[in-house]
């Protein structure tokens, strides 16, 4: 009687938690794991450690195991005004402020689940159809929301009063603001669809900074903002790469643009730092890791069906480094990709099509090794010699070394004696190596 053990994967315990950047594995989380929708436009971690994801079908809160989704219900005014989430932030009291693409602004009391919709401002304007592009809390606990074609809103949460800044009322030089960013000193900066910056000076005063480093005549929308360690403003654009605004000299410079690659790499959808001061950048053509901030050492991650080799898709729409230094990447219609800093000390080896550097089959039927770096792996399709030290695979299949032992690739038994002799049991045969 023949007894087989079919294994879907082979686990080998390792000693290191995260490989070099160029060799990282992307774990994938999608709708089959509970994510409400597969396009993720913003990622955030709240003060309790929960991860939040903005999608086209709701705002997701993730505890590492389960998703809780906030959505719109047409027959329930106590729900969000829309499920198509554009932006969100947490305030100092733990409430979540949620902007939508076409249906204005909401506040979620996370403790009670109560949702407040902001429908009108003091002068009577209807806010229910606003396109909210970004949301920030300032140091005075006010909430700022930028919009397309309606300027800026400043909300006082204490009394729910709303101050409106707009070019129509000559309180703002532009009427569309694509991003708001609060720097380490608490100063508010705004990005515009023309690639220029606004600096909030207090009261109703703003300073307009024209980006003279951007190539004309058509400049690109600012899609994301952050600051460098010197306090300068870094911002990504929708086709012109990344710029730096030096707050000390008031000068703009372009610090990243890849003219030789697809221009989709110059569509920058997200920029964030890790604890070492390195930059992680989301683009419409993969992701970038920048060692330091001078852009001299850039590693590019592109899409690949194999999670050991790349992202689930080329279009990355958001990026975030959490408190445990895990890197989260949201994509367009392909869910989440995660680089875990301290993953479980288990490596997964599997069959990979179109390459010899993987198992012959996921049906592993026998194992043996030399106690050091060599592992012999038997399967229903042949024998593999795997060198863990070099990560190299050598395969023995029917048309080669195994043919003289009966022509079968069905390896069922492996054993290595004290002298290093390998005994191979093939269905109906025994081979001594």
Question: Which pLDDT band holds residue 404 (cuts at 50, 70, 90)?
Answer: low
What's the CA gap between 141 and 153, in Å, rounded? 14
Q: Are residues 420 and 353 in the same domain?
A: yes
Question: Phi and psi dihedrals of 161, rounded to 5?
Answer: -75, 150
Q: Are residues 328 and 387 in the same domain?
A: no
Closest CA to 325 of 339, 313, 314, 335: 339
Please count the structural domains in the chain. 2
Q: Are residues 259 and 114 in the same domain?
A: yes
| Contact predicate 239/266, CB 8 Å | yes
Q: Are residues 87 and 128 in the same domain?
A: yes
Residue 160: the pLDDT is: 87
Q: Are residues 141 and 164 in the same domain?
A: yes
Residue 422: the pLDDT is: 83
| Contact predicate 53/45, CB 8 Å | no
CA distances from 240 to 178, 189, 233, 279 (A): 15, 19, 16, 18
Q: Are residues 56 and 162 in the same domain?
A: yes
Distance of CA 230 to the CA centre of its chain: 25
What does the angle CA 396 – CA 399 – CA 404 come to, to the nearest 5 degrees?
85
pLDDT digits (tens, 9 = 90+) for 74-111: 999 999 999 999 999 999 999 999 999 999 999 999 99
Residue ending a domain, choose from 346, 378, 396: 346
Does residue 179 sit within a domain?
yes
Does residue 4 sit within a domain?
no
Residue 168: the pLDDT is: 84
Q: Which domain holds residue 71?
A: 18-346
Q: What is the CATH number of the domain that holds 426?
A: 2.40.10
Task: List strand residue ranges (DSSP E) for 109-150, in order.
Answer: 115-118, 132-137, 143-147
Q: Are residues 100 and 203 in the same domain?
A: yes
Q: Are residues 405 and 342 in the same domain?
A: no
What's the CA gap between 106 and 145, in Å, rounded? 11
What's the CA gap between 270 and 53, in Å, rounded? 14
Residue 407: the pLDDT is: 57
Q: What is the CATH number of the domain that holds 144?
A: 2.130.10.10
Q: Which residues pair with 126 in a beta bridge?
A: 120
pLDDT digits (tens, 9 = 90+) for 262-274: 789 999 999 999 9
What does the angle CA 150 – CA 156 – CA 157 come to, to the nearest 5 degrees?
115
Q: Are residues 257 and 397 in the same domain?
A: no
**Mean per-residue pLDDT for 169-192?**
95
Buried/exposed code over 264-302 (b: 16+ C-beta within 10 A; e: otherwise): ebbbbbbbbbeeeebbbbbbbbbbbbbeebebeeeeebe
């Amino acid at each position: 009687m023949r007894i087989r053990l079919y294994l879907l994967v082979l686990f080998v315990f390792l000693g290191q938690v995260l490989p070099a950047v160029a060799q990282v594995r992307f774990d994938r989380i999608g709708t089959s794991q509970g994510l409400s929708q597969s396009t993720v436009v913003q990622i955030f971690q709240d003060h309790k450690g929960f991860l939040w994801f903005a999608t086209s079908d709701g705002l997701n809160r993730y505890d590492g195991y389960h998703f809780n989704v906030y959505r719109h219900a047409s027959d329930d005014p106590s729900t969000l005004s829309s499920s198509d989430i554009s932006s969100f932030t947490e305030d100092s009291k733990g409430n979540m402020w949620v902007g939508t693409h076409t249906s204005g602004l909401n506040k979620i009391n996370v403790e009670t689940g109560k949702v407040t919709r902001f429908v009108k401002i003091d002068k009577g304007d209807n806010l229910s159809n606003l396109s909210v592009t970004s949301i920030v809390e300032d140091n005075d606990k006010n909430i700022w929301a930028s919009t397309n074609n309606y300027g800026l809103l400043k909300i006082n949460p204490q009394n729910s009063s709303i101050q409106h800044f707009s070019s129509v009322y000559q309180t703002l030089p532009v009427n569309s603001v694509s991003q708001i960013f609060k720097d380490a000193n608490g100063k508010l900066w705004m990005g515009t669809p023309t690639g220029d910056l606004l600096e909030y000076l207090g009261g109703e005063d703003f300073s307009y900074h024209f980006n003279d480093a951007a190539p004309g005549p058509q400049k690109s929308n600012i899609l994301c903002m952050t600051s460098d360690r010197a306090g300068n403003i870094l911002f990504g654009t929708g086709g012109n790469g990344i710029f730096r605004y030096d707050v000390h000299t008031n000068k703009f410079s372009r610090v990243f643009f890849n003219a030789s690659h697809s221009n989709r790499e110059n569509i920058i959808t997200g920029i964030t730092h890790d604890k070492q001061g390195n930059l992680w950048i989301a683009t419409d053509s993969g992701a970038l890791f920048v060692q330091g901030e001078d852009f001299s050492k850039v590693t590019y991650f592109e899409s690949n069906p194999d999670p050991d080799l790349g992202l689930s898709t080329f279009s990355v729409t958001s990026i975030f480094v959490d408190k445990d230094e895990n890197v989260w990447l949201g994509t367009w219609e392909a869910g989440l990709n995660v680089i875990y800093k301290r993953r479980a000390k288990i490596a997964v080896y599997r069959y990979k099509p179109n390459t010899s550097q993987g198992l012959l089959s996921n049906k592993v039927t026998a194992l043996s090794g030399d106690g050091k770096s060599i592992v012999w792996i038997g399967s229903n399709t042949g024998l593999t010699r795997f060198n863990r030290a070099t990560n190299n695979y050598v395969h023995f299949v029917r048309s080669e070394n195994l043919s003289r032992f009966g022509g079968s690739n069905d390896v069922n038994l492996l054993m290595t004696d004290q002298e290093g002799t390998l005994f191979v049991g093939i269905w109906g045969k025994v081979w001594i190596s």
